[in-house]
Amino acid sequence: MEVTNTIGRRKTSIARVYVVPGSGTVTVNQRDLKVYFPSEIHQTIVKQALTISKLEANYDVTVNVEGGGSKGQAEAIRLGIARAIVSINAENKPALRKEGIMTRDSRMVERKKPGRRKARRRFQFSKR
């Protein structure tokens, strides 16, 4: 039984993904996928790479994820699973790339600057 481990990132979330041949269970931080992500949308995002490559019932996925919110974590896991699938079998790469799953979304929150209210928002100007 060979374990394939990869990493996926999105915003400030980092997901370490371990893929093993098995029955198709997905475990996130020692909890079932449906318990960790109660939202069906996030569950779909996590399983999207497996669904596209038609390998849902062939691999068990174990994930350790930290940082960010639920959406960022789900997308980080999706990238990690996609990278693992490609490292197992490179024939799946074109289909995953066509869906835009293989690309790391590098958009991050811009930091707050000193002398400003937010990253770009200035304090209100008062003439008098």
The rounded mean pLDDT for the chain is 94
62 within a domain of the structure (yes/no)? yes
Whether the predicted pLDDT of 65 surpasses 90: yes
pLDDT tens, position by position, 70-93: 999 999 999 999 999 999 999 999
Predicted TM-score of the model (pTM):
0.91
Contact by Cβ (8 Å): 42, 3 = no
Number of domains, the chain: 1
CA distance 45 to 30: 19
Task: Let me know if residue 31 belongs to a domain.
Answer: yes
Amino acid at the residue 63: V
CATH number of the domain bearing residue 65: 3.30.230.10
